[in-house]
Structure 1
Amino acid sequence: MRIIVIGAKGDIGQAVCAELGARHELVMAGRSSGDLRVDIADRSSVEAMYANAGAVDAVVCTAGDVHFSPLADFTSEDFMSTLREKVMGQVNLVLAGLERLPDGGSFTLTSGILDREPIRTGASAATANGALGGFVKAAAIEMSRGLRVNVVSPGLLDVSAPKYGSWFPGHDPVSSRRVGLAYDKSVEGAATGQVIIVD
């Protein structure tokens, strides 16, 4: 398969590429790195990415900025920026890709553990993660031509723990290998409308 991976340079993106890159052709995309440039929060940028990518069989997104702040300090715009970047950015990839992917193609999005296991300062991330889970469940029942959509919801990755572990007290990091396999399950498997949890 030929697969676009958005956010390939991040910790989750690298786990995805390590797992899928051995068997598939990967087209890496990102805001500032990769084969293609894309700002997923901008629908026209997403459309341009698809046009420049050519034929692809699957799309994997591990990108989406999130704002962290104590709840009392959050503004409406802080929440909206997270929703634009992490939720609508990934929704844009699906909406713009519906007519681009071939029969049986798939979209794999990324949420995270914080809607299940919240942390202080993580209210907007938890909100975004829950929204993505709802989106894939609803979108899957309307997709035609055998198209599929899932969202992977990983815990804190082992490789991310040195940098972010103090934000996640009591969390047991998950292996990058297991996270990569979850994306493999979504891309190469048959599931659709699923939240694939790795914790």
Structure 2
Amino acid sequence: MKIILVGASGDVGQAAHAELSKRHQIIRVGRKTGDVIADIADRRSIEAMYDQIGAFDAVVSAAGDVHFAPLTEQTETSFRLGLDHKVMGQVNLVLAGLPRISDNGSFTLTSGVLDRDPIVSGTAAATANGALAGFVTGAAIEMVRGLRINVVSPGLLDASEARYGAAFPGHERVSSARVGRAFAKSVEGAITGQVIVVG
């Protein structure tokens, strides 16, 4: 398969790439580095990315920014970072990709642990994660041409421990290999409309 991997340089993206690249052609996409440069917060950038890549069989998204801050310090603007980037960025990957993706293709998005196991200062991320779960559940029943859609929801990766571990007290770390296999389950399997929890 020819798979577009958005957010390929991040910890989650690298885990997906390590697993999927064993068997498939991967087109790595990032805001600053990759085979193709694109910003999913900009619908026009997404359209240009698809135009540049041409035919493809699957999209894997491991991208999307959110703002971490105590709830009392959050504002509508800071909340919108996660809604515009992590939620609508990934939603727009699907909406723009629907007329382009091959029959029986798949979309795999990424959320995270915080809507089911919250941390202090993580409300905006929890909100974005919950929205993505709702989108995938609703979109799955309207997919055409045999298309599928899922979202991978990993806990804190072991590869992310040094940078983010202090913010996740008591959380079990998950291996990058397990996260990679979750993406393989979504892309290579038959499930749809699922939140694939890794944690």
Same fold at TM > 0.5? yes
Paired residues, what number? 199
Q: What SS does structure 2 have at the residue aligned with 1:15?
A: helix
What is the one-letter code of the residue matched to 2:105? G
The Cα shift of 1:172 comes to 1.1
Residue 48 (structure 1) aligns with: 48
Provide the TM-score with structure 1 as the length reference. Answer: 0.99
Q: Distance in 1 between matches of 2:102 and 2:3?
A: 12
Give, in whole Å, the separation in 1 of the partners of 2:3 and 2:180: 14
Percent of aligned pairs sharing the same letter: 65
Secondary structure of residue in 2 paired with 1:161: helix
Following superposition of structure 1 onto structure 2, how do residues 1-199 of structure 1 map, counting pairs within 5 Å? Answer: 1-199=1-199
The TM-score normalised by the length of structure 2 is: 0.99
Quote the offset at 1:54 in angstroms: 1.2
1:81 positional shift: 1.2
1:126-185 Cα distance to aligned partner (Å, 9 max, x none) = 000000000000001001100010000000001101111000000110010000000000
Structure 1: 5+ residue stretches without partners: none
- d(CA) in 2 for partners of 1:103 and 1:63? 24
Unaligned 5+ residue runs, structure 2? none
Q: 1 CA distance for matches of 2:118 and 2:129?
A: 11
In 2, Cα distance between the equivalents of 1:102 and 1:55?
7
Distance between the aligned counterparts of 2:45 and 2:120, measured in 1?
33
Shift of 1:20: 0.3
- Looking at structure 2, the residues matched to 172 and 148 of structure 1 have their Cα atoms a distance apart, in angstroms, of 30
Give the secondary structure class of the aligned counterpart of 2:158. Answer: coil
Local SS of the residue matching 2:27 = strand
* Structure 1 outlier segments of 4+, above 3 Å: none
Q: CA RMSD in A?
A: 0.5
